[in-house]
Structure formats: C-alpha cells, structure tokens
Amino acid sequence: MTPAVWASTRVRRTPFTPRVEAAGVVAYTVYNHTLLPVMFRSLEEDYWHLKEHVQLWDVSCQRQVEIRGVDAARLVQLLTPRDLSTAEAGRCLYAPLVDSRGGIVNDPVISKLADDRFWLSIADADVGLWVSGLAHGLGVKVEIAEPPVSPLAVQGPKAEELMARVFGGAVRDIRFFRFAWLEFAAHPVMVARTGWSKQGGFEIYLDRPDLGVPLWDALWEAGQDLEVRAGCPNLIERIEGGFLSYGGDFTLEHNPFECRFERFCHLDRPFDFIGRAALEEIAERGPARRVMGLEIAATSLPGCVEPWPVTVKGGQVGEATSVAVSPARRCGVAIAMLDRVHAEPGHGVVVSSPDGELAAVVSDLPFPPTSP
C-alpha cells in the first residue's frame, strides 16, 4: 500500500478546492505549499479527455510573486538571461531565473502588467525569498508581495469555445502568451493564453478568492455540452509535450543549457543579469548534460518516485526523472537528463526501473506527434 500524504494547515487549500473535491479528485501533490490535484479518474482517462475535450485545472499553486516600483523592471531583468526589454505590457514570458553560478532558481511565467509591475508565476520553490534578499542587498526601490491570486487553467481543444461563452468573444483575440483583462461578475480578471499542456487553452488569474466557486460553476455550467471535466496537469501529456518540472526534472544543480532553454538566454545582447559570466563560460564549453525524451519498451511501469539510472554497457550515463506509459504510443515515455554524448535521438540506452532493466531509445523533446 502507498501511504497517504497528510494535509495540514501548512498545506494551503485554494478557492477551488471545494469543487475539485466534489469532482472526485483521487490524488494531490503539494506545490508551493499548496494542494495541486494530480489525478481524477486515471492518468490514461484524464489524458484522452484532455486531448479531446476541455478541463478545468486548479493551478492555484502557481503563486504570483509581484514586483512593483521604480526599480521593478531593472530587478526583474537581473533575475533572468531572457531579454525582457522588448516586451510590452500584456505579454507573458517563460523565463529561467538563475543564480551567480548559472544554476536554475526557478522557471516562472513572467507577466508584464505595466512598465513598473510584474507577476512571476512561479514553479515549486520560494522565489519570493530570493527576490526579497536581492532587493535588500541591492537597495533597490521595489515592493515585493505574494498577492492572493489563484490561477485556474482551462485546457483542451474546446477551451476557447468554453471561455468565449463565459468571458465573451474577446478571448478569441488573445494571442499565445498574451493576456487581457476581462470581466467576471463585474470584476476585471487577467486572462492569458497560457498553460502547462500542448492542447491549447487559457489561464484565469483570479484575484478574488470569494469568486472561486462562482467562477468554477459558471465554466462548469457553460461547458456541459462540451463535456467539461475537472482535470490537472497530466503526467503523460506533459512528458510527451516536453514540459519540465522544476525540482523533479531539473534543479538548482542544472543550468539553462542542460535544460535546452537556450531560446530563453540572450547572451549576445548587452544587458546585465545575475549569472552572466557563468552562463557565458558554460555556453563556450558546451553543457555536460542535456535533457531528452526516452521511449521505453514497456506497457506498464511503476511510478518514478526517485530518479531511475540510465546506463550504456553497464555504465551510468544519466537518469530518468519523470516516467509514464503513453496510451497513444503504447510504450513508456520519460524525461531524462543524459550525458552529452548520449543525448542524441535514436541512441539505445537501458533504464533501471524498480521492475528491472528495460531497453529504451533516446527521443527529442517534445516527443514527435503520433498519427491519430
């Protein structure tokens, strides 16, 4: 029997928790000290439903670190190698945050609300402490807060139709990684075309906890004929989509090049950020490891609760950190950090699972689409 993880007052509930529980959530994880659903029916059923219909995801655990003030833009730029100078208000940007050694502190979605106001929609680590420490040490004029904002994701191929029914046709004009302020219950809320799936959709950044249940119910009722269901980031779909999970697939011990984040690192542009010297050196040398996909010869696999060694001729060349069985591919799929020489699509490797040694083939991330 797998022991349960206990909730307590240290683990935050969310404005949507009553509806998530009414919808029959079967398992949670804890992310940013907050409950995050991980499964409703089964990973496979949730996967197919996400790819065909529309789901409501309680991703309130994606907490917002707000940075505002006259020095906000300068401080936010110092946090990341991604050039933010060309972004206008209304943009969202996925951006690694790095420390002075080039290690990844977090990988938030940064929303630019105004020239002097940003939200960092953080992955699972206490970014507020890192930013507050830096602001104190640098003596910059900013205010840092974690406002009571709870994102609700609406994901799946029917997400736009459902959102248009509740928020009006204006949602259709929101481009990928942009946001707009739209009204719900006569209150303006931030709606972005973002989300942790490749199926398309939106995230509603609800800043009124009292409107959580009414918002959920409005989407639920409007989506009955669209077969709306409660869902959550799906392990299988996000592995296939190549979405890396901070703390699991990569940590402070990894740099952006190992994570294949080079498109978010603008070393050739002359702005200042923490870790520039370290990243320039790594870019020059080339990263020691690269994150890749694996296709594993297996039709059932146990959960990966600690990294599984990846070997070639008995020598370890890396580790798999997220593993699932894909019903679309009828094999195991994994995200793995591999030594550079083995990080090539088509390379054969062996994965040491708790069930024994399994043959695997290295794949690109995201995994190439399957034909329907």
Instruction: Summarize as ranges the residues that interact with ligand THG (CB under 6 A).
Output: 62, 93-94, 107-109, 121-123, 151, 177, 194-196, 203, 243
Nearer to ligand THG, 106 or 326 (CB): 106
Residue type, 328: A
The DSSP string of 282-329 is HHHH--SEEEEEEEES-S-----SSPEEEEETTEEEEEEEEEEEETTT
Half-sphere exposure of 204 (CA within 13 A, CB side): 32
Give the shortest CB-59-to-ligand THG separation in angstroms: 7
Give the shortest CB-159-to-ligand THG separation in angstroms: 14
As a whole number of angstroms, the distance between CA 80 and CA 37 comes to 29
Give the shortest CB-206-to-ligand THG separation in angstroms: 12
Give the shortest CB-298-to-ligand THG separation in angstroms: 27
Chain centroid, CA 180 distance in Å: 21
Strands of the sheet containing 150-155, edge to edge, are 179-184, 187-192, 201-206, 150-155, 55-58, 229-231
Give the shortest CB-108-to-ligand THG separation in angstroms: 5
The encoded tokens of residue 240 equal 């296939």
Give the shortest CB-297-to-ligand THG separation in angstroms: 28
Burial class for 126, CB neighbours closer than 10 Å (0-12, 13-18, 19+): middle
**Cis ω on the peptide bond leading into residue 366 (within 30° of 0)?**
yes
Nearer to ligand THG, 221 or 253 (CB): 253
Nearer to ligand THG, 201 or 318 (CB): 201
Give the shortest CB-137-to-ligand THG separation in angstroms: 25
Residue 196: DSSP 8-state: S
Nearer to ligand THG, 160 or 203 (CB): 203
Task: Map tokens 């996000």 to a residue.
Answer: 238
Give the shortest CB-146-to-ligand THG separation in angstroms: 14
How open is the CA angle 10-12-15, to the nearest 5 degrees?
A: 160
Give the shortest CB-243-to-ligand THG separation in angstroms: 5
The encoded tokens of residue 71 equal 């020095």
Task: Map tokens 């995801």 to a residue.
Answer: 57
Nearer to ligand THG, 251 or 311 (CB): 251
As a whole number of angstroms, the distance between CA 79 and CA 61 comes to 21
Nearer to ligand THG, 184 or 331 (CB): 184
Nearer to ligand THG, 152 or 334 (CB): 152
Nearer to ligand THG, 122 or 232 (CB): 122
Cα distances from 61 to residues 122, 158, 233, 273, in angstroms, run 8, 24, 12, 27
